Amino acid sequence: MSARFLYKNDVDFQVLAHDSPDFAKILKANGQLDFSNPKAIQQLTISLLKRDFKLEINLPDDRLCPPVPNRFNYILWLQDLLDTTSDRYTERYDPAREVTGLDMYGVSSMAHLGRRHRGKLYLSVTRMRAAAEVEVSRYSLRGEDIDEKNVQCAQENVSLNKLNARIKVVQTTAQDALIPIERYGLSRIDFCMCNPPFYDSVEEMVSSAQRKQRAPFSACTGAEVEMVTAGGEVGFVKQMVAESQTLRDRVQWYTSMLGKHRSVATVLQHLQELGARNWAVTAFVQGTKTRRWAVAWSWADRRPRTARGRRPTTDGHECTDDGHVCEQDLARGIAHLPKALLPFPSHISFVIRQQPASIDELGPRLDAALRSLPAAHWRWTPSLSTGLGFVVADVWSRAFRRRKQTRQQRLRSHSDDDDDGDDDDDDDFDDEDAALGFKIQLLYERGPAATAAATDEKARRVVVVVRWLKGNDSVLFESFCGMLRRTLDAQLGAS
């Protein structure tokens, strides 16, 4: 099984009991696990880490026990965020890319994460403040913690996994920054992640446990320092947001897990009030067990992937405009959020009214239309029916043409040279200067929308899929897609 689908379904306790004798000892006779028993929860984590990641770990009875599948799903989501917003615009996992990150929870996950990422990973544990640097070829880790017991536990687990030469855990104070990248001499990192304390007070924590009809420190096994902070999880994330306003794009993605659904809207509203224009949300669900949510934001302008334009199929499922059943959106993965709180879709799909005979007919027309745009950088790959492009502004609009004409007139009035007025040098193009980056792909429609008789390419409709890769102006992206559709419609209608 691919590592990505390791925990797609609930953990099979019978199989795990067969693989782990220690887990078999705490499994009930009916094959069920007593989730109210902290020892059972701890053994589940220990056995999964050993079987699936070859990690040995000791967990203290009075500290948090991280659920492995939930955290693993968080890591996969984060990896997808990074893969779909890389500066190479490939939208695929790049094994050569070095990734530097900051993890604000669980020192126990250090080696696990390090083995999944090439590059460096700094770990900073929530309320434990562990930071660590990981390099796959030669792990070099540094950790810091404000809790003495957590420091001791982290050091013991490092020794247990024979990583002493690569990991160093030190104690710090609660006054340190949550995202202390300058402490390690770093100019920037790719991400930070955390699992903040849920509660604002001990009273709130006890009240929550009573509503769930269980003791507040039963299966949670967390100490007060791990579960309570001023302002609760929202207050903690707001502190992250405040630090991110100073760091800006020195961190590409700031992320946090949240334990309360209502916290998601509060955090997103706060981000919008501060002018954030690039964010992502998702939900982590492991079978029928506890649900968690996550929020990510970036002050940079690389857009994470969302599902392509959706429409219902005849069997009630949702599929993309090319007929594929949708997987959960990477950036819009929480249902029942107000539309205004969801990020703008990064895919727009449409079908040309006057259908071309094939992709081979539409491809050259699309290529010519994009090449005709002023101040545009465009590359079309016929073999993939895919193109990558960038524009510095709304170069298709009358307003842009008027601005360019005015600029040319000013240049001529200040020069005696014969100037053609084209001051946009494509040879010196830098995609960092682009206001909009996009990928366009031509696909044949598949699935229920394509009739049963449409077994060959000529009988199926061609779908134009526009992927928003770069930029912060959703109006500009929509305007570009509208222009492209009108242009192609006009070209095919006149042919």
Position 393 pLDDT exceeds 90: yes
- Rounded (10°) CA dihedral 195, 15, 154, 97: -70
Asked if 441 and 465 touch (Cβ cutoff 8 Å), the reply is: yes
pLDDT for 123 equals: 42
Q: How many C-beta atoms lie closer than 10 Å to residue 198's C-beta?
A: 22
Residue-wise pLDDT for 68-87, tens only, equals 888 888 888 988 999 999 98
pLDDT for 317 equals: 33
Residue-wise pLDDT for 220-240, tens only, equals 555 555 565 667 889 989 999
Asked if 389 and 440 touch (Cβ cutoff 8 Å), the reply is: yes
pLDDT for 147 equals: 62
Point out which residues pair with 36 in neighbouring strands: none
Residue in 242, 239, 284 with CA at minimum distance from that of residue 261:
284
Q: CA-CA distance, 253 to 269, in Å (whole number)?
A: 18
Q: Name the residue with tokens 């404000």.
A: 146
pLDDT for 355 equals: 87
Q: What pLDDT band is residue 194 in, cutting at 50, 70 and 90?
A: confident
Residues 6 or more apart whose CB falls under 8 angstroms from that of 138 comprise 166
Helix-strand-coil split of the chain, %, nearest 5: 35, 20, 45
Q: CA-CA distance, 493 to 138, in Å (whole number)?
A: 61
pLDDT for 122 equals: 44
Q: What pLDDT band is residue 374 in, cutting at 50, 70 and 90?
A: confident
Position 413 pLDDT exceeds 70: no
Q: CA-CA distance, 335 to 281, in Å (whole number)?
A: 10
| Separation of CA 451 from chain center | 36
Q: What pLDDT band is residue 140 in, cutting at 50, 70 and 90?
A: very low
Position 359 pLDDT exceeds 90: yes
Q: Which of the residue ranges 201-210, 217-226, 400-409 has the most confident prediction, judged by mean pLDDT?
A: 400-409
Question: What percent of the chain stands above pLDDT 70?
Answer: 68
Asked if 229 and 263 touch (Cβ cutoff 8 Å), the reply is: no
Q: What pLDDT band is residue 282 in, cutting at 50, 70 and 90?
A: very high
Residue in 232, 256, 263 with CA at minimum distance from that of residue 124:
256
Rounded to the nearest integer, the mean pLDDT of the chain is 77
Position 216 pLDDT exceeds 80: no
**What are the helix (H) ranges across 133-260?**
148-160, 202-211, 224-227, 232-247
| pTM of the entire predicted model | 0.81
Asked if 125 and 176 touch (Cβ cutoff 8 Å), the reply is: no
Q: CA-CA distance, 201 to 72, in Å (whole number)?
A: 28
pLDDT for 16 equals: 95
Position 462 pLDDT exceeds 90: yes
Residue in 131, 129, 126, 138 with CA at minimum distance from that of residue 163:
138
Position 375 pLDDT exceeds 70: yes
- In order of 24, 46, 59, 351, 446, the CA distances from 17 in angstroms are 4, 12, 19, 53, 43
The better pLDDT of the pair 345, 495 is held by 345
| Separation of CA 45 from chain center | 25
C-alpha angle 289-294-300 in degrees, rounded to nearest 5: 160
Q: Which helix (H) or strand (E) holds 452?
A: none
Q: Name the residue with tokens 């992250």.
A: 240
Q: How big is the chain, counted in residues?
A: 495
Q: Which of the residue ranges 83-97, 306-320, 396-410 has the most confident prediction, judged by mean pLDDT?
A: 83-97
> What's the whole-number mean pLDDT along residues 155-176?
70
Q: What tokens were used for 1?
A: 């099984």
The region of weakest confidence among 219-233, 259-273, 294-308 is 219-233
Number of H helices, E strands in the chain: 13, 16
What's phi and psi for 21, nearest 5 deg?
A: -60, -35
Position 372 pLDDT exceeds 70: yes
The region of weakest confidence among 156-160, 311-315, 478-482 is 311-315
> What's the whole-number mean pLDDT along residues 416-440?
69
The region of weakest confidence among 15-24, 427-436, 441-450 is 441-450
Q: CA-CA distance, 460 to 14, in Å (whole number)?
A: 48
> What's the whole-number mean pLDDT along residues 248-277?
95
Q: Which of the residue ranges 217-226, 293-302, 410-419 has the most confident prediction, judged by mean pLDDT?
A: 293-302
> What's the whole-number mean pLDDT along residues 253-257?
95
Q: How many C-beta atoms lie closer than 10 Å to residue 322's C-beta?
A: 24
The better pLDDT of the pair 343, 162 is held by 343
Q: What pLDDT band is residue 3 in, cutting at 50, 70 and 90?
A: low
Position 285 pLDDT exceeds 60: yes
Residue-wise pLDDT for 84-138, tens only, equals 999 899 888 887 787 787 777 544 334 343 333 333 444 433 322 333 333 333 2
- In order of 99, 240, 452, the CA distances from 133 in angstroms are 11, 20, 55
The region of weakest confidence among 189-203, 238-252, 382-396, 456-470 is 189-203
Residue-wise pLDDT for 26-66, tens only, equals 999 898 999 888 889 889 989 998 998 888 888 877 767 77
> What's the whole-number mean pLDDT along residues 127-156?
49
